[in-house]
Structure 1
Amino acid sequence: MSAVTNATATSTATIALLHLAPRPGEIAANRQAIEQAVRQAAANGARLIVTPELAVSGYGFRDLLGTGWIAEGQDELFAWAGALARETGATLVLGTPEATPDALFNSMVVFAPDGAVTGRHRKINALRVGSESWSTPGDRPTVIPIDGIGRVGFFVCADMYSKRLIDETAALGVDLHLSSAAWAPGLHGPNGEWERASSSTGRPVLVCNRTGHDVLDFNAACSLAAVDGTVAFSHASAEPRIAWVDWTPDSRRLADWRVR
């Protein structure tokens, strides 16, 4: 049976995928865009709000800003994101560079509706050259329970290349897979990874991709839902948009998809 249904017998939770256009190195502008989109998503009932990979910094920030700002501004950044989650009453998944005392990571950081950080996923298949050479690969699969959604398996972009990581994540018990991405079509672009993950695990895959120009042209990059090995819904646009997905956690079904 397909994991996409129009049934209304069970309650649904709305998930918002923010298909944004982060500008490389323009932290203030990117934060403003995130803030506006998060408020709009929450006003339309989203309980889980997701940003693309490196939404705070843009993908190619390193050559413009370096990396010192990551640790220096992290406390203030996390306080801002936590306050935004509290204000909107939603769970916020923020794509951002993250610093520890010993390393830098390309992370998805999860802020609960009370503003607390409840977990993070650090990109495992991080490139060791070019625009991602600043980041240290993560070392473990990530599953985080999210109130009203279920147990969510997290991935950042090329993490979905790894069948082993997908299998290890699924083995932890997953209701839904979620990936942030900065993944443009073309050479080395997506080639069925999301669809295969949905087929092999029997769980839907939601992808929050991006648009705009950075180190690549992302205007044709797709945010999507993959279900049972096929793309059930997708969106690409040159302008930022929000995709809302209605999710029925009890039956692990995607009930509806709309873009504004």
Structure 2
Amino acid sequence: MKRIKIALLHLLPIVGDIRYNQELIERSVKLASNKEVDWIITPELSVSGLQFRRRIGIDWIECQPNSWMNRFCQLVKSIDTTVFLGSPEKGEDGKYYNSVFVIDSNGQIIGKQRKINVLSDGWSTAGKVIEPIIIDDIHVGIMICADAYTTNVAEPLYQKGAEIIIAPASWGPGLHGPNGEWEQRSIETGLPIIVCNRTGEDETVSFWQAESSLIKNGERIFTHQSKQSAIITFEWDIERQQLHSAQIEVEYIE
């Protein structure tokens, strides 16, 4: 029976403050590892914040792994878990991408997903590859924020054998906020969708009421919003497609 203990890092990053965000991620990952989790998930662009371009531009973005990523990979190895990390990257083609990297318990980057639906980002190029990543013998799809708007990411992931979809996001309520997209994708694919969102605010977007959620068959099994960074921990039964336990643990990060 496949059971995965998962920690969602519902973080409060500071837009454009790369070092602060990196330290917040490192501290949060260490705290989550104390719960003996298998996977740790960060929000979309947890390293930079969503609207970083307004403050610091894009020239700082590097090819990955850069020096910090290499150090972070060693940290992940030391805690023997797998981390989904949302970060900008410069591609081998010189273009910029909104990406999620999967770092396994050996400290290796075993895969990444580049955001497909990037029209609202204004700085990143659309990714071209949509493929599940095999983690702990589980086929995992990654759907980044606005990639949930249509079926063009979730459906190919399902068709290619994904058993679960991880959805890192920086998506708060409002005029263009989420309006049932994650629920609809879960109905269409029949797959659980795990949304790791964030809190705080950027230049023009508020995330104070943004929600991290576990969604199955169009229903939110649980949801979380908070004014400060938090670690949300639960255990998912892959084979039965249900929570192993009804207990959802929330720990706030000071």
**Is TM-score (shorter-chain normalized) higher than 0.5?**
yes
> Is residue 179 from structure 1 mapped to residue 170 from structure 2 by the alignment?
no
Other-structure match for 1:233: 222
> Shift of the alpha carbon at 1:245?
2.0
> Shift of the alpha carbon at 1:253?
2.3
Other-structure match for 1:32: 23
Q: Is the 8 A contact 1:11 1:248 kept in 2?
A: yes
Question: 1:167 aligns to what SS in structure 2?
Answer: helix
2:180 corresponds to which of 183, 192, 206 = 192
Partners of 2:132 and 2:2 lie apart in 1 by 23
Partners of 2:55 and 2:111 lie apart in 1 by 29
Residue segments in structure 1 that go unaligned for 5+ positions in a row: 1-9
1:48 corresponds to which of 39, 49, 64 = 39
Question: 1:213 aligns to what SS in structure 2?
Answer: coil
Residues 205-214 or 81-90, more deviating: 81-90
Other-structure match for 2:131: 142
Other-structure match for 1:110: 102
Question: 1:153 aligns to what SS in structure 2?
Answer: strand
Higher helix share: 1
Aligned pairs for 1:9-158 within 5 A: 10=1, 12-71=3-62, 74-102=65-93, 103-127=95-119, 132-147=121-136, 150-158=138-146
Residue segments in structure 2 that go unaligned for 5+ positions in a row: none
One-letter amino acid matched to 1:237: S
> Shift of the alpha carbon at 1:202?
1.1
Aligned length: 247
1:72 and 1:204, CA in 2 relative to 1: closer, same or farther beyond 3 A?
A: closer
Q: Is the 8 A contact 2:133 2:139 kept in 1?
A: yes
Partners of 1:259 and 1:145 lie apart in 2 by 27
Question: 2:102 aligns to what SS in structure 1?
Answer: strand
Question: 2:178 aligns to what SS in structure 1?
Answer: coil
Length-normalised TM-score, structure 1: 0.91
Partners of 1:142 and 1:160 lie apart in 2 by 15
Identity of aligned residues (%): 38
> Shift of the alpha carbon at 1:46?
1.1
One-letter amino acid matched to 1:247: W
One-letter amino acid matched to 1:192: G
> Shift of the alpha carbon at 1:252?
2.9
Query: Could you say which structure has the greater relative contact order, defined with CA pairs below 8 angstroms and 6 or more residues apart?
Result: 1
1:88 and 1:160, CA in 2 relative to 1: closer, same or farther beyond 3 A?
A: same
One-letter amino acid matched to 1:41: A
Question: 1:68 aligns to what SS in structure 2?
Answer: coil
Partners of 1:69 and 1:240 lie apart in 2 by 26
- In the TM superposition, structure 1's runs of 4+ consecutive aligned residues that sit over 4 Å from their partners are none
